[in-house]
Structures are given as structure tokens and as C-alpha cells.
Amino acid sequence: MSTLYITHSDCFLHEMGEWHPESPARLTTIETALRDAGLWDQMIHRQAPEVNPEHIARVHGEDYLQHLVSHAPQTGYYALDADTTMNPHTLTAARRAAGAGVLAVDEVMAGRAQRVFCAVRPPGHHATPHAAMGFCFYNNIAIAAAYAVDVMGLQRVAVIDFDVHHGNGTEDMLAGNPAMLMCSFYQHPFYPGRHHEPPADNMINVPVPAGTDGATLREVVATSWLPALQDFQPQLVFISAGFDAHRQETLAQLNMEEADYAWITEQLVQVANASAQGRIISMLEGGYHLTALGNSVVAHVKPLITL
């Protein structure tokens, strides 16, 4: 079964200033790394459409969506918070990023693909129902997960988040929904400084301290995530794929290696093969050290193609 790679040139146009780590160079680095690893030509490539507004509205409030539109600049920048800024291309890029997730659901549910990696930006997992934050505008993964349940009729969808930061926005949108299971680990205390006690039974949160290594995080996956996933029997697995827990990352202090990302992905492939007909949709979140990002994406995508 095919593995899709979804992106769009509009995702390169969003930028928040030359100083900002969430830069278009991230996507260039990923493409180069996948080409160098011989994986690029093993995937089918699709262009992300702009998302239908009704899909965004399942998880975001109308007042917030109107706020974004009314403050989108024609030139220059508009800062929504200290590190989340719009330029004239931001909302188009964000609509493409969210549209990639919806397209991915359509493709795997139609049987035209089994696995998907969405190389899109801006990322999404910090965006809450009513606010942008943490480089995020629309919550791409939550939009796609809600679409899978509300439109495609799936009864059990899992969302896995291995970004170094707590996916607070995704949690806000999915907590308490019996059709969803969210599993995550993240550095704590750390940005976004939110609660770390699970707000609902369908949230498997595992905060870990700075300096935690890959072996410890594998144990977290083995003892916390996998039993919950095996009990839940997801029909589709989503991954918020942030690579900023890598030991080379300068914006965080966890110590994962490429082999750890490969191992986690392999475990999730096994889960998906057991109950979800192998269906996995992975969407890019963080990862700002470019060398580490490229190498980690290769380690993550290879099992999506080969297993």
C-alpha cells in the first residue's frame, strides 16, 4: 500500500522573521534529507488543498477565526503573541496545513494510501479553540481527527504526540471525547506551562523532566501508551510528529536520538496494523535544529514506508 507525502509551496511562504526558529528552511531540510536517504521517490506526492472552513469550525470558535482574518496583514507582520506572528501568507499556509490532514483522512479511508506524512507548516498542536499560541494558528491534527470521527464515522481514533512540548491545544479539543484517545509525553515543567494532570480518562499524559533520555521515553511508551492503545483498538492513528525532543535541539532539554523516533514509529505501526488496517497519518509539529530534524524525519518516515 502506498505512503503519501503531502505538502504545498504555500507552506514555505509563511514566516515570522529571520530570527524565528519555525522557518521555511525546515521543509527544505526535510525534503533534502528524504531525498538523500532514498525515501523521496518511494512515496506518492500530493499537494495540500485549502481546508474547508467547516472543518476548522469543528474545533475552533467563530470569534477566534474572525479575529485571525480581521488581523491578517496585507504587508509586514501582526503579532498574536510574543512568538506567534502572521505575515500576508500565514492564513493561506495554515489552511493548506489543515487541508493536508483532511486530505490524508480521505486518502487512507478510500484505500488509496495506508500511511501519510504531512510536511506542512505552520504547526498546530498548541492552537486552542480560541487562541493561537506556540507558533500555531489552526490545530491541524485535531481538525483531521474530528473530521475522521464526525464525517468519516470512525468510532475510535488515536492521537499520539511526541513533541517535546505538551500538545495543550489538541488536549483541550479532544479531552472527554470517547471516540478519541490521546497519548503524549513532554518535558515538564516547560512551555506551555499548562496542567499536566490528565483532564479526562482519554488522555494519557506523561510529563518527564529535562535530561530524560531515549531509553526512559521508550519505557514510557511501552508501559503507558501501548497498553492503552491495545485496549482502545484505534481504527486510525494520528501522530503529532514533533522532533524537538532530540538531544541536539537547543530549544529544549530532552535527549532522544534518531533510533528512538524509529522505535516509537515501529511500535505505532504495529498498533495500526493490529486494529487500523495499518492506517497512520503523521503531521509535522516541532523540530528546529535542522540537522537533527532532517535525520529524525528520515528515521520516522522509513518505518511508515517499509513496515
Q: Which residues are catalytic?
A: 126
Half-sphere exposure of 238 (CA within 13 A, CB side): 33
C-alpha cell at 237: 492513528
Taking residue 220's Cβ as centre, other Cβ atoms within 10 Å add up to 20
Could you tell me whether strands 78-81 and 84-86 are parallel, antiparallel, or unpaired per DSSP bridges? antiparallel
**Cβ-contact 124, 55 below 8 angstroms:** no
**Cβ-contact 127, 60 below 8 angstroms:** yes
C-alpha cell at 18: 529571520
CA 149 to chain centroid: 18
Q: Is 111 left (phi over 0), alpha (psi -120 to 50) or beta?
A: left
Residue type, 122: P
**Cβ-contact 9, 121 below 8 angstroms:** no
Question: Burial level of 70, CB count in 10 A (0-12/13-18/19+)?
Answer: exposed
Q: Which residues contact 65 (CB under 8 A, 6 or more apart)?
A: 53, 56, 57
**Cβ-contact 114, 3 below 8 angstroms:** yes
